[in-house]
Chains A and B, each alone.
Chain A
Amino acid sequence: MDIDVTSLPTRTEKKLGLVIDLDVCVGCQACVVSCKSWNTGGYGAPLADTEPYGDTPSGAWLNRVHSYETENYGQTGVVHFPKSCLHCDDAPCVTVCPTGASWKRSEDGIVLVDENKCMGCGLCAWACPYGAREMFHRQVS
């Protein structure tokens, strides 16, 4: 099937996504690390890390968990909020992508990046409202 660059399929047969029950999320970060370990050697490019043993390590992750404090009728508490790609209906990371690398699959609504087309402009990461798309800059030696 052909798709338009920067355009979304008019409809998808299914709308797949990842359901995360915040009511039971304890913020354990298992999903974060497991996702990275599965995907770093799976396809495309590795999810690399700079300064792995250095002063300030940083790397590419496909999801992260953020923790927030809440207040509810005077009761304080903590909410853990895992953020991975939501495969948005109106995915701004797709409509902003100048090369068509960021695309939404019409069969099931999954949003993907075709690394063969990505030029690393970073527009998608900038456009994603959930911080789910990250850029990882690697120095080419």
Chain B
Amino acid sequence: MRVGSPLLDLSPYVSDEIRKTTCYMCACRCGVDVHVRDGRVRYLQGNRDHPVNRGVLCAKGSAGMLHQESPARLRAPLLRSGERGKGTFQEISWDHALGLATEWLAEIRQSDPSRLGFFTGRDQSQALTGWWAQQFGTPNHAAHGGFCSVNMAAGGIYSIGGSFWEFGQPDWDRTKLLLLFGVAEDHDSNPLKIGLAKLRRNGVRIISVNPVCTGYSAIADNWLGITPGSDGLLIMAILGELLRSGSIDAEALRYTTNAPWLITLDAGAHSGLFVRDRDGTPMIWDAATNSPQPHDHPTARPHLSGRYQLDDGRAVTPVFTQVVHEYLQPCYRPEAVAERTGIGPATIRWLAAEIAGTAFGKSEDMPLRWTDWRGIQHASVTSRPVAIHAMRGIAAHGNGFQTCRALHVLQMLIGSVDAPGGTRYKAPYPKPVEMHPRPSGLEGPGLPLQGPPLGYPLGPEDLLVNEDGSPQRIDKAYSWEAPLAAHGLLHMAIPNACAGDPYDISVLMIYMANLAWNSSMNTPGAMNALTARNSDGSYRIPRIIVSDAFASEMVDYADLVLPDTTYLERYDCISLLDRPIGEADHVGDAIRHPVLQVNRDVRPFQDVLIDLGNRLELPGFTDADGTAKWSTYREYMALHERKPGIGPLAGWRGADGSQSLRGAANPEQIEKYIANGGFWTAELPEETRYYRNINMTYQDWAADCGLLDEPSPFKLQLYSEPLRKFQLAAEGFGPRQPPEDLRERIRSSFNPLPNWYDMPASSPEYPYHAITQRPMAMYHSWGTHNPWLRQIHSFNRLYIPSGICDREQLEDDDWIWLESDFGRIRTQIKRMHAVNSSTVWTWNAIARRSGSWRLAPGASESRRGFLLNHLISELLPKRSDAQQMMNSDPVTGQAAWYDLRVQIRKAPGPKSTGQQNAGTQTGLPDMEPVASQLRYGSEWTST
């Protein structure tokens, strides 16, 4: 039989219009072309012109249209009508909702603004939310960084005035070796994939250090399955090897870091602090004049070693002698660290040799004219082609801050910071820690804070503690328990508010943070705390306001729900004041704008926040006579000026839109962004692109164009004086003293040179480490109600190394009890080889509370999904002195969720995770019906 070849329409009609905005299916900020057809999304495509993703769109981003049409979208403001946590609400009008919120907030603003706790999640409007908190006058504000990766940010800022991800990136074009530490599908997402592919195709070696071999590790040339919590030990062993073999860049150390700065050796209040001249400038020992000179002396040749005596008799030595002393200690020899790291001595030596061989053996001179901080002109830059990228795997430990610092010390030793081929700053970085603000504390009733609530302390004098040393913030950030808590401690807000420790609050306002589920340690504890009552029956946390776009687990615990829009329905601002989209060679920022019409009675939270600011007549939001400055976030984005000429958006400033970075507000600015695809960028001139901390060509250019207030060259901080100041306080010096029971903890964790300490020894009953990895197709809680993404991950298993399986007699698909010293959960297992031999792991953020996010109560996410959060306490076990410390990094307060230790028991019985005993969430009123079948796009198909 013969039949005709069918006629095919090879170019079917796609969409009515393409609208370009910024994706928000995760925090990576890729540009997306939204194909709109009949007012709905026909297709989502990466924007090829966008500097972040250059056309690449990930699985999450590609599934955004189902996020947009989720039946879990909230539809109208809700007021709790039954008991809290039972999901009983009535719909109310926005006037009613905002009136209530204003009433609650106005009362505490006039009596004690710190009775408001305002915490946000994976939010990118921190420039607005933080500023709102400041104007309201509460110090109790933070986003989710303390739960996520503050160690990475703070470790970087205190060391090099930059960091990884948002503040720095590998030099993908020139690097000859990439080291990844603790990177799964973290941040960046698409840029990392693009970069890794480039390196593979260029034949560049990629070495991934991670307990588990997933995504990025899978394509690395070498995967090193390290034991969790020991990355710092491995890095310090490498430092020792580099020092022992002399594989260091002495010139870079001498002229770009504080390696030659003199520190006082004598005991006393100044011991270990920098020697300073009368102007306060740190000093070096000049070889030419054999005398101490300010470190920025243009012709001095500083010594890196030796011991000297000052005229006043003080014995002093350069920082570098301490570096050598620290890392040549026997405890950091490869043989000594092999057992704890799980990486053999030969491998460690090979790793150090690869780094040294590449940094120095494959370096090249690139012609480029630039002037350094001494005024010396250079005709070239020298590459140090070893790049490093690191993320949560090293950050989310109780020793994460020092581990992150150690990585930066490694970069400084080989001179690769912002060198060609190294890890380079992303504009507007670098910014040394001094250039960042200090945290601001409570001023009093009716008063705004003097500055932003979050900042970077330089010593004990900047802590937010009372006379008696007790914390001023509800999350205890900037207290002696978490002194450098640059992102706050989201994970402590609810437990502390419930315990009234350090005090009671009246209103908890939560935006885009799923604290009743996956964004808390000790999920059951958080759920209990949200409903805990006083003896008179009133709630421990009197009022809870939640803004979310979806029926998340958290929404059930609200008294008042302010329903948010989706990312395709609102304005957002990815700002230089916050977390911009700069890259190594350009500065940039971006917006989101409504590409779809809102079809529910919901409002963007940013608009709501501005409305509340106006109703409360907060300073900054209203003029002296109470007149509102802006009625919408869109107006604020274009018209707000943080400083004269500096606003949320840097592009198209000035009345005619001709200025960048600095210039008068431009009412037409947003149209310009939309016309340009939702973003703005400006190239850095070539001679400003390297060694920016000491590159005067950069510093002058940056000051000229408004990126910096003034040229401020600075040295990289191998040795951190702020840390030493805390240590001195712990040693008994200075007016501000830590409580007795914290002295030893501060002394041992605030070493001015990164050191390694292990977590408190866990009982031998819990022999295994347990960690999570982020799946590439899922982002926190957002992806799980997306029908396409949930088909990729609708449940998770515990992956167990074969050795443990053999020992515990486990087979694939067996059910087990996974137990920590805090709790136990049932999980189904799978055997795996490519994982550290003492580590079990699973994908994070897949499990859902039954009935949440409009999933069926029996959804596989609830029956077969589990979170490790249920096993992790926010507090460490009681110490011998009965004190209970936070389960957080002692320096920054970063949640130490990767320190979890577990044991495994075979579990006969029901084949279900049993929803982790969290009960079933009941439906909210008047939600959209849930479809039993999805035929997305059927109206646009031919049949």
Determine if B196 is an interface residue (Cβ-Cβ < 8 Å).
yes
Determine if B134 is an interface residue (Cβ-Cβ < 8 Å).
no
* B193, A53: Cβ atoms closer than 8 Å: no
Residue of B nearest to A23 (CB): B200
Determine if B792 is an interface residue (Cβ-Cβ < 8 Å).
yes
Determine if A28 is an interface residue (Cβ-Cβ < 8 Å).
yes
Residue of A nearest to B776 (CB): A28
Query: How long is the Cα–Cα vector from A8 to B65 in the complex, in angstroms?
Result: 38
* A55, B858: Cβ atoms closer than 8 Å: yes
Determine if B201 is an interface residue (Cβ-Cβ < 8 Å).
yes
- Most chain A CB within 10 A, of B57, B219, B832, is at B219
Determine if B538 is an interface residue (Cβ-Cβ < 8 Å).
no
Which residues of chain A in 53-99 are interfacial with respect to chain B, using CB atoms and an 8 Å cutoff?
53-59, 61, 69, 71, 76-80
Residue of B214, B777, B856, B930 touching A33 (CB-CB under 8 A):
B777
Query: How long is the Cα–Cα vector from A2 to B4 in the complex, in angstroms?
Result: 5
* A24, B218: Cβ atoms closer than 8 Å: no
- Most chain B CB within 10 A, of A24, A49, A53, A59, is at A53
Say yes or no: A78-B214 contact (C-beta < 8 A), given A24-B197, A30-B62, A59-B787.
yes
Query: How long is the Cα–Cα vector from A1 to B65 in the complex, in angstroms?
Result: 39
Determine if B860 is an interface residue (Cβ-Cβ < 8 Å).
yes
* B942, A26: Cβ atoms closer than 8 Å: no
Query: How long is the Cα–Cα vector from A23 to B791 in the complex, in angstroms?
Result: 26
Say yes or no: A29-B777 contact (C-beta < 8 A), given A24-B197, A56-B860.
yes
* A57, B790: Cβ atoms closer than 8 Å: yes
A95 to chain B, nearest CB (A): 14
* A76, B4: Cβ atoms closer than 8 Å: no
Residue of A nearest to B58 (CB): A30
Residue of A nearest to B862 (CB): A55
Residue-wise, chain B 184-226 has the 8 Å CB interface mask toward A (1 for contact) of 0100000001001100110000000000011111110001000
Name the B residues within 8 Å of A76 (CB-CB): 213, 833-834
A81 to chain B, nearest CB (A): 11
- Most chain A CB within 10 A, of B6, B43, B57, B63, is at B6
Name the B residues within 8 Å of A21 (CB-CB): 197
Residue-wise, chain A 34-66 has the 8 Å CB interface mask toward B (1 for contact) of 101110111111111111111111110100000
* B776, A38: Cβ atoms closer than 8 Å: no
* A24, B794: Cβ atoms closer than 8 Å: no
Name the A residues within 8 Å of B201 (CB-CB): 24
Residue of B nearest to A58 (CB): B791
Residue of B nearest to A80 (CB): B218
* A46, B790: Cβ atoms closer than 8 Å: no
Name the B residues within 8 Å of A23 (CB-CB): 200, 219
Name the B residues within 8 Å of A5 (CB-CB): 1-3
Determine if A135 is an interface residue (Cβ-Cβ < 8 Å).
no
Name the B residues within 8 Å of A30 (CB-CB): 56-59, 61-62
* A46, B193: Cβ atoms closer than 8 Å: no
Determine if A27 is an interface residue (Cβ-Cβ < 8 Å).
yes
Residue of A29, A42, A53 touching B859 (CB-CB under 8 A):
A53
* A69, B834: Cβ atoms closer than 8 Å: yes
Name the A residues within 8 Å of B215 (CB-CB): 26-28, 80
A interface residues, how many (CB within 8 angstroms): 58
Determine if B785 is an interface residue (Cβ-Cβ < 8 Å).
yes
Say yes or no: A55-B934 contact (C-beta < 8 A), given A2-B2, A30-B62, A77-B213.
no
Name the B residues within 8 Å of A41 (CB-CB): 37, 42-43, 936-941
Residue of A nearest to B63 (CB): A33
* A26, B196: Cβ atoms closer than 8 Å: yes
Determine if B931 is an interface residue (Cβ-Cβ < 8 Å).
yes
Say yes or no: A52-B65 contact (C-beta < 8 A), given A3-B2, A26-B776, A103-B5.
no
* B932, A40: Cβ atoms closer than 8 Å: no
Determine if A122 is an interface residue (Cβ-Cβ < 8 Å).
no
A47 to chain B, nearest CB (A): 8
Residue of B4, B785, B935 touching A48 (CB-CB under 8 A):
B935
Name the A residues within 8 Å of B584 (CB-CB): none
Residue of A nearest to B65 (CB): A37
Say yes or no: A24-B932 contact (C-beta < 8 A), given A32-B59, A38-B43.
no
Name the A residues within 8 Å of B223 (CB-CB): 77
Can you give 19 contacting A-B residue pairs, CB < 8 Å?
A25-B219, A26-B219, A28-B58, A28-B59, A33-B777, A33-B792, A34-B59, A37-B43, A40-B941, A42-B12, A49-B934, A50-B934, A53-B855, A53-B856, A53-B931, A54-B932, A57-B794, A57-B860, A78-B213
Known contacts A32-B792, A41-B940, A43-B9; 18 further A-B pairs (Cβ under 8 A): A4-B1, A23-B219, A29-B58, A30-B56, A34-B62, A40-B937, A41-B43, A45-B941, A46-B938, A48-B936, A52-B934, A61-B791, A76-B833, A77-B218, A78-B217, A105-B5, A114-B6, A139-B933
